[in-house]
Amino acid sequence: MSQSVHNQATAEQVMRERHAVKKYDASHQIPEAELNAILELAATAPSSWNLQHWKLVVITDQAVKEKLLPIAYGQRQVVDASAVILVLGDLEADKNAVPVFKPALDAGFVPQDVYDTLLSQINAAYDNNPQGARDEAIRNSSYIAMQLMLAARAYGYDTCPMGGFDKEKIVEALNVPSRYIPSVLISLGKAAEPARPSARFGLDQIVVKNSF
């Protein structure tokens, strides 16, 4: 079997095995090395202009998880999972442009005219455009959220994405700077029970070819 075929099969298996798990083994502690490996894989997610419009608040302290339980409306996975990750979207991702592209310019990977054009495009997109910045923050942080869940499954862990939490209270509880907005809360750990079975629409119900 070729390496490319092997990788494709592994990726397909991970995608098909990923389900939203609600009940976790509360006694399991994820090794920091494994958690970091999952986070590093997640961080390879794509983003507009490679601005990486996200920040991850990784919560493993049990006292902090207990603090979040009422904020997440009593969802037990918040306290039983090995870790809970708050994915934040960056409203000021345009500030990442120079840190992202200046090293490439200095190394000769990007010519000056391309560098100038990229920064001009980014500045124009964000200038007096708070709705656009918010849209980009949510959209791009969603990419790393999905990749994090797939990376966790590849390492044998389960996850559950949660939108059901008080956004204002979680910002206050975790001292989130105003630059960032909550996107999704993700539990990560060892399943105590399998996920409930779920069905997916067939392609005939979700795909429109070329035009409606």
Alpha-carbon span 16 to 42, nearest angstrom: 18
- 37's CB contacts (< 8 A; 6+ apart) are 151, 155
Residue 91: phi and psi, rounded to 5, are: -75, -15
Is residue 10 over pLDDT 50? yes
- CB 124, CB 97: distance < 8 Å: no
1-5, 23-27, 104-108, 148-152: least confident range:
1-5
The pLDDT tens digits of the residues spanning 64-112 come to 999 999 999 999 999 999 999 999 999 999 999 999 999 999 999 999 9
pLDDT (average), residues 190-199: 91
- Whether the model pTM is above 0.85: yes
The DSSP bridge pattern shows strands 158-162 and 54-59 to be unpaired
Domain boundaries, the chain: 16-192
Using only the alpha carbons of the chain, give its radius of gyration.
Answer: 19
Architecture of the domain whose range is 16-192: 3-Layer(aba) Sandwich (3.40)
